């Protein structure tokens, strides 16, 4: 048990506790000779700094809380990676939790973040109806950033993109390829704000082009490969099947592609498929997936950067940062014959 404390090191080096603390945090305040003696004592006795005690004493923390819907969907990997890299470089630790899009779990997670007195939080795609709680946090002076959403509440900060616009663009792209019977496989829009926006974008595009909305053509699923496959199978067995399918998440799209392949449909000759997210795998499907590119890494990078700035400055300016998305045309969509 290397139970060495500063107190011990101080005694062993014949200096005061304060001096040990200084040689660690402000070495320039300590005479080189003294410093060396203390340092060598620490090395010799395997001293380990107690960051938690320091945080408490200093009344500030160096950990950041991050929530993610689920690690299972690689779409969030890229932004969370960016956050981790920047945080690590700046000396912050990350506490991570999966919400599974469950309001109760998310709530509990935020609670635990707060109890650990994190310096700030980044919430990836937070569940609807927690705004009140977020307000509490803001009032408690905890910098808090929502990412992957474009929030409607002007008093909450976010870094995201326009899910409505992105989904509408992709639908329009499909329409521009002469498709009029366009299936939609989509995540749980009844639970998740940004997914709802995608549904709305799809409907808006149809409406603008005088295409009647057909509820049989939209299937709500969890954003998982299996679900995408199942949904696609269902769509392809419809009496009047779609000529194009927009899967509003690459997980769903890749599942859908696999279904098409199994059923013997050629993509894109027999049916077009479009995805959303541009996860790494999208470019490596056969054929490579046409999808919506989302600035995932950039979102994470900005979030970490802004949050850490806010922590260091002691106050969080409101951020409403909406990044651009674009359509990556690859080979899963073609003009209707």
Partner DNA sequence: CTGAAAGCGCTTACAG
Report CA dihedral (102, 88, 296, 122) to the nearest 10 degrees.
40
23, two tokens: 């040689």
Structure tokens of 161?
């993109």
Binders of DNA among residues 36 to 55 (CB under 7 A) are 47-50, 53-54
Considering the rule CB under 8 A, would residue 140 count as an interface residue with its own copies?
A: yes
> Which is closer to DNA, CB of 111 or CB of 331?
111
127 binds, among DNA, its own copies, none (CB under 5 to 8 A by kind): none
Q: What is the DSSP letter of 217?
A: G
Q: Segment contacting DNA (CB under 7 A): 22-30, 204-212, 256-264, 299-307?
A: 22-30
In the set 18, 48, 128, 263, which binds its own copies (CB under 8 A)? 48
7 binds, among its own copies, DNA, none (CB under 5 to 8 A by kind): DNA
30 binds, among DNA, its own copies, none (CB under 5 to 8 A by kind): DNA
* Torsional class of 14: left (φ above 0), alpha (ψ -120 to 50), beta (otherwise): left
Phi, psi of 166 (to 5 degrees): -60, -45
CB of 93 vs DNA, minimal distance in Å: 15
Closest CA to 157 of 315, 297, 294, 293: 315
- Give bridge partners of residue 67 from the DSSP assignment: 97, 123
* 119 in Cβ contact with 127 (< 8 Å): no
- Which C-beta is closer to DNA: that of 42 or that of 175? 42
Query: Cβ of residue 38: shortest distance to DNA, in angstroms?
Result: 9
Rounded Cα distance, 81 and 108, in Å: 23
Q: Per rule CB under 8 A, is residue 283 in the interface with its own copies?
A: yes
Angstrom CA distances, 118 to 25, 42, 62, 111, 114, stand at 21, 29, 7, 11, 6
- Options 232, 254, 274, 304; binder of its own copies; rule CB under 8 A: 254
Return residues touching its own copies (CB under 8 A).
1-2, 46, 48-53, 55-56, 61, 63, 70-72, 74, 77-78, 80-81, 84-85, 88, 93-98, 105, 108-109, 112, 114-117, 136, 139-141, 224-225, 229, 254-255, 257-258, 261, 280-281, 283-288
């Amino acid at each position: 048990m290397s139970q060495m404390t500063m107190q011990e090191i101080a005694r062993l080096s014949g200096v005061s506790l304060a001096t040990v603390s200084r040689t660690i945090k402000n070495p320039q305040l300590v005479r080189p000779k003294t410093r060396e003696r203390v340092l060598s004592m620490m090395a010799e006795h395997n001293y380990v700094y107690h960051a938690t005690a320091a945080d408490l004493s200093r009344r500030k923390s160096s950990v950041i809380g991050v929530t993610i819907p689920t690690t299972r969907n690689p779409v969030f990997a890229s932004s969370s990676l960016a956050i981790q890299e920047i945080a690590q470089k700046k000396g912050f630790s990350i506490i991570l939790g999966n919400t599974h899009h469950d309001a109760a779990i998310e709530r509990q997670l935020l609670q635990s973040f707060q109890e650990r007195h994190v310096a700030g939080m980044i919430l990836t795609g937070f569940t609807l109806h927690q705004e009140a709680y977020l307000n509490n946090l803001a009032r408690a002076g905890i910098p808090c950033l929502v990412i992957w959403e474009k929030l409607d509440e002007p008093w909450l900060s976010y870094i995201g993109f326009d899910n409505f616009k992105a989904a509408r663009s992709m639908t329009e792209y499909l329409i521009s390829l002469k498709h009029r019977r366009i299936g939609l496989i989509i995540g749980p829009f009844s639970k998740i704000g940004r997914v709802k926006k995608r549904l709305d974008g799809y409907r808006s595009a149809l409406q603008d082009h005088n295409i009647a909305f057909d509820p049989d053509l939209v299937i709500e699923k969890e954003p998982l490969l299996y679900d995408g496959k199942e949904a696609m199978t269902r769509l392809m067995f419809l009496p009047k099947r779609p000529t194009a399918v927009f899967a509003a998440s690459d997980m769903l799209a890749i599942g859908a592609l696999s279904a098409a392949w199994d059923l013997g449909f050629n993509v894109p000759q027999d049916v077009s498929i479009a995805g959303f997210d541009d996860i790494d795998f999208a470019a490596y499907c056969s054929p490579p997936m046409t999808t919506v590119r989302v600035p995932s890494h950039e979102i994470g990078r900005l979030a970490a950067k802004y949050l850490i700035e806010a922590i260091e400055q002691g106050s969080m300016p409101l951020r409403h940062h909406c990044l651009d998305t674009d359509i990556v045309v690859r080979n899963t969509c073609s003009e209707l014959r």
